[in-house]
């Protein structure tokens, strides 16, 4: 059987791995999937061998808190609770950052002020005030340590259980600095009491409270910025839930009743008027209309529907009055299935393991062992306890995780900031890290590759009328129509400055077109079926109709009572930037695939125009998600780019989901990256930025690690017997600070990043 659990206390991929290892050890556990971002765990197990309580106990043994998710909770309440937990986490982190810096700023001023020529109060200067000088720093450090005590609780807990993580590094490094500072206070007190001013002078320079405080404050700032990017999937699901109407009108026993959507039963007759949203899936039994299905299928033009046709939940009735029989209600509707797909894809999407965490898993125990061994060896060699302790502390301070902890978040901060400057909103560090490895890009068509609305592409005259005269008649006819193709004709007339004439006796012919009277003369406009029914000969223009179809254009035929006056073709046109974007993806060796709910001919026309590697047409939302899954099963690293509600499951399932900024809120919330300017070239720029950022992170990690490893032998006193070289804790702290400065400076180079654009 399969059950879901919540897990709290995880801070990095090392925590995630520790939880998975602990649960997998249980007899009867078949599979474990831990979602770090969502703080959730899904476990498949044999309930004859193990139960939920044993699984929870295993997680708690690993040092984390867990519990079984309660399926009885209402979906809305669960989502609301999740949102509140996220807000509480961000609020708490913001408070920790604020308090940390309130105390860190005066601490740094007192500790470093005199070195850079800043004035200090007289009661903090001079050897006679050394004890006060040290103790004030200690008092300023205590609130920072207390407000960030989670690092110690988690870090030492995981360390004792044999699975150290980034918190362990932070806890050890800051503790080493604070403990040494306390030791220095005792030595200063001893020196003042015994007249040993040399000791006072030595240890008043060896106070490292500001080092411990700085580690905690900077790391907390980085974690606060990470916390703000969590929880996007839950927000997307909440918006999906809000999409469907809350009530619906049903016909029962000859009477119309307005009831909550949840009470609609299979077989109910649902009444839908123009402009209303369709609440459940069903089949039309009365009336005809045009239905906007763009949110679900991605079709840019409303679809004509009549008796016997299916309607889908969350689509919008545009023009006519219809009744339909409910066939899929509740969790069976198309919208509900999309929501389920978003949830499932989100829970199975494991976050990328941070390189720093993997290093810390090996680095921390090695450093601790070196510090302990070095201290013991020097004691055995006859060195004083003070000397041996200084050696051990120096090893820990030089190994302090400030640079290692900053290596990733600082580069991510600069990278995401530079992305925003270039119109790319990157919502999480994970997205920026994963994007560099993308080898397949999947594009939605409507609103992503194309503009998402039809525009006139061709005007063909078939009578003696001039183009100006023909467009005046066509636009005058269409001014009373609500069809998107009518809007395209009116836009064309407006661009040419054509004045419209009044019309009368306007009639919409469902599924065919329109009829109206202008200047006392009757005109009709629509598809070939309307022309045939009206006795208008269009045989001579069949080749033209075939050409338009092959070019994914929709023709509108205009005629009077006797003859065809002309044909206007409209099409959802490709954005100019789409051509350049596809070229850029191909230049990076990335395969470009298009998924669309539109018909095969339209898809093939776009493929030919843009030279796409592959297209998949006439797909439903779940088909898009399955196509992404299939590509991933082939070992591909997939980025999905879309703008509609129908793209949400695929956006979440993909390794990186990229939403067009002009798209729906749900697509934007489901995605990892949002293109603010709706320019597809920015998707290619996002991949370029990711590659530059990852390269920078690896450089940072190398130098952070290099400084530490270079200084450890020196700090351990290996060169002291032969060369007299000994690294004091102060020099160790300086080296640590230097590595931090180097890492930050290197990360700032990302500010010079400029995407490579063509066209």
- By annotation, the residues acting in catalysis are 444
Give exposure, 646-668, as e/b (b: 16+ Cβ within 10 Å): bbbbbbbbbbbbbbbbbbbebbb
The closest alpha carbon to 522, from 509, 540, 538, belongs to 509
The tokens for 754 are 């400029």
The closest alpha carbon to 568, from 451, 452, 483, belongs to 483
Residues 6 or more apart whose Cβ sits within 8 Å of residue 550: 601, 605
What is each CA distance from 368 to 176, 183, 250, 714, in whole angstroms? 11, 19, 71, 15
- Paired sense of beta strands 673-675 and 504-509, if any: unpaired
d(CA 101, CA 148): 12
Question: Which of helix, strand or coil describes residue 708?
Answer: helix
What would the DSSP string read from start to end of 167-180?
HHHHHHHHHHHHHH
The tokens for 531 are 């022309």
What SS3 string covers 647-679? HHHHHHHCCEEEEECCCCHHHHHHCCEEECCCC
d(CA 366, CA 361): 9
- Paired sense of beta strands 440-444 and 65-68, if any: unpaired
How long a stretch of residues is the chain? 759
d(CA 652, CA 342): 6
Residues 6 or more apart whose Cβ sits within 8 Å of residue 85: none
């Amino acid at each position: 059987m399969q059950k879901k659990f919540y897990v709290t206390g995880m801070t990095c991929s090392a925590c995630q791995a520790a939880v998975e290892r602990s649960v997998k050890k249980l007899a009867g556990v078949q599979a474990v999937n831990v979602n770090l971002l969502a703080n959730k765990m899904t476990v498949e197990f044999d309930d004859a061998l193990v139960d939920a309580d044993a699984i929870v106990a295993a997680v708690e043994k690993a040092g984390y808190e867990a519990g079984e998710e309660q399926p009885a909770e209402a979906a809305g309440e669960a989502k609301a609770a999740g949102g509140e937990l996220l807000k509480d986490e961000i609020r708490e982190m913001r408070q920790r950052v604020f308090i940390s810096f309130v105390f860190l700023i005066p601490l740094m001023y007192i500790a470093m002020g005199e070195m850079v020529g800043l004035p200090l109060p007289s009661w903090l200067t001079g050897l006679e005030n050394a004890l006060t000088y040290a103790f004030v720093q200690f008092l300023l450090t205590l609130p920072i340590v207390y407000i960030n005590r989670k690092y110690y609780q988690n870090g030492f807990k995981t360390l004792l259980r044999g699975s150290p993580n980034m918190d362990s590094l932070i806890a050890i490094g800051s503790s080493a600095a604070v403990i040494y500072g306390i030791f220095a206070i005792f030595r200063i007190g001893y020196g003042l009491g015994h007249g040993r001013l040399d000791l006072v002078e030595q240890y008043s320079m060896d106070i490292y409270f500001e080092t411990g405080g700085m580690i905690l404050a900077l790391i907390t700032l980085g974690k606060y910025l990470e916390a703000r990017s969590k929880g996007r999937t839950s927000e997307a699901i909440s918006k999906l839930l809000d999409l469907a109407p809350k009530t619906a009108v049903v016909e029962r026993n000859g009477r119309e009743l307005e009831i909550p959507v949840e009470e609609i039963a299979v077989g109910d007759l649902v009444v839908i008027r123009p402009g209303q949203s369709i609440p459940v899936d069903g089949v039309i039994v009365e009336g005809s209309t045009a239905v906007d299905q763009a949110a679900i299928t991605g079709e840019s033009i409303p679809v004509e529907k009549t008796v016997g046709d299916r309607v889908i939940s969350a689509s919008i009735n545009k023009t006519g009055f219809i009744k339909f029989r409910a066939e899929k209600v509740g969790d069976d509707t198309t919208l509900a299935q999309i929501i389920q797909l978003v949830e499932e894809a989100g829970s199975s999407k494991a976050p990328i393991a941070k390189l720093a965490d993997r290093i810390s898993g090996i680095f921390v125990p090695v450093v601790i062992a070196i510090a302990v061994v070095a201290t013991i060896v020097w004691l055995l060699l006859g060195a004083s306890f003070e000397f041996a302790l200084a050696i051990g502390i120096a090893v820990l301070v030089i190994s302090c995780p400030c640079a290692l902890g900053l290596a990733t978040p600082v580069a991510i901060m600069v990278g995401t900031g530079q992305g925003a400057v270039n119109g790319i909103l990157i919502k999480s560090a994970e997205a920026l890290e994963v994007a560099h490895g993308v080898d397949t890009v999947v594009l939605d068509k409507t609103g992503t590759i194309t503009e998402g609305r039809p525009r006139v592409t061709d005007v063909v005259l078939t009578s003696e009328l001039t183009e100006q005269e023909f467009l005046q008649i066509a636009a005058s006819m269409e001014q009373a129509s609500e069809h998107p193709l009518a809007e395209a004709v009116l836009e064309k007339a407006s661009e040419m400055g054509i004045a419209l004439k009044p019309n009368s006796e306007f009639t919409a012919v469902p599924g065919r077109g329109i009829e109206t009277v202008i200047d006392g003369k009757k005109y009709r406009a629509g598809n070939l079926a309307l022309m045939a029914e009206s006795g208008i000969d269009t045989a001579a223009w069949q080749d033209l109709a075939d050409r338009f179809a092959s070019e994914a254009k929709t023709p509108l035929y205009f005629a009077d009572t006797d003859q065809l006056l002309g044909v206007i073709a409209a099409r959802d046109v490709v954005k100019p930037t789409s051509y350049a974007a596809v070229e850029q993806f191909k230049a990076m060796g990335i395969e470009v695939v298009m998924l669309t709910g539109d018909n095969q001919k339209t898809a093939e026309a776009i493929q030919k125009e843009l030279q796409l590697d592959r297209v998949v047409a006439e797909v439903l939302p779940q088909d898009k998600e399955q196509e992404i899954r299939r590509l991933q099963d082939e070992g591909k690293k997939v980025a999905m780019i879309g703008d509609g509600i129908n793209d949400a499951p695929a956006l979440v399932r993909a390794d990186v989901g990229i939403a067009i900024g002009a798209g729906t809120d749900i697509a934007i919330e489901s995605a990892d990256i949002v293109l603010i300017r709706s320019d597809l070239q920015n998707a290619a720029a996002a991949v370029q930025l990711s590659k530059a950022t990852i390269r920078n992170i690896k450089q940072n990690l190398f130098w952070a690690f290099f400084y530490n490893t270079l200084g450890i032998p020196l700090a351990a006193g290996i060169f002291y017997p032969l060369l007299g070289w000994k690294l004091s804790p102060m020099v160790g702290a300086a080296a640590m600070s230097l590595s931090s400065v180097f890492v930050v400076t290197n990360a700032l180079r990302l500010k010079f990043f400029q995407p490579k654009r063509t066209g």
